[in-house]
């Protein structure tokens, strides 16, 4: 898989994790999260896979993803970075995930959300000096 299609594939997986039907489904979450998955949440809490696949899943919110990039770390391991706007909580965060390929399936191994005081501004805005 070349970088362009890998980037598209990982973006699709990240976007799927924002959908209510995936976020509330233990089966869907279990497929996407590696068995050794853990997260440093924007709340300051640490979560593990078993915390995410319980009743109610990881909660439903209206979120939009921006500035998605991939950073290959090794064969079968990729860091993704992006900005997320949680329209439900009116909160901006910086996000990073580590995805690993397990038996030819990409699964999220690690995720981190870091609160950001800066709102998302499209890269085309030449007055923005991030």
52 three-class SS? helix
Beta carbons within 10 angstroms of residue 37's beta carbon: 24
Rounded to two decimals, the pTM is 0.86
In sequence order, which residues have a C-beta less than 8 Å from that of residue 16 and are 6 or more positions away? 22, 28, 32
The DSSP string of 80-98 is EEEEEEETTTTEEEEEEEE
**Tokens 């290959």 sit on residue:** 72
Beta pairing, strands 105-116 & 91-102: antiparallel
Contact 78, 102 (CB under 8 A): no
pLDDT value, residue 128? 43
**Tokens 């990881």 sit on residue:** 58
pLDDT value, residue 2? 52
Tell me how far apart the alpha carbons of residues 69 and 10 are, in angstroms, rounded to a whole number.
9
| Digit-coded pLDDT (tens) for 76-104 | 999 999 999 999 889 999 999 999 999 99
Mean pLDDT of the chain: 89
Contact 54, 22 (CB under 8 A): no
């Amino acid at each position: 898989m070349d970088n362009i299609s890998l980037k598209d594939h990982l973006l699709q997986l990240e976007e799927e994790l924002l959908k209510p039907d995936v976020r509330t489904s233990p089966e869907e979450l279990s497929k996407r999260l590696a068995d050794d998955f853990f997260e440093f949440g924007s709340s300051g809490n640490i979560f593990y896979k078993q915390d995410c696949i319980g009743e109610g899943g990881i909660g439903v919110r209206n979120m939009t993803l921006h500035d998605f990039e991939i950073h290959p770390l090794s064969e079968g391991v990729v860091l993704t970075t992006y900005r997320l706007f949680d329209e439900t909580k009116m909160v901006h965060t910086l996000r990073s995930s580590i995805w690993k390929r397990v038996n030819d399936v990409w699964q999220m191994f690690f995720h981190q959300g870091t609160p950001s005081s800066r709102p998302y501004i499209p890269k085309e805005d030449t007055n923005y000096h991030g």
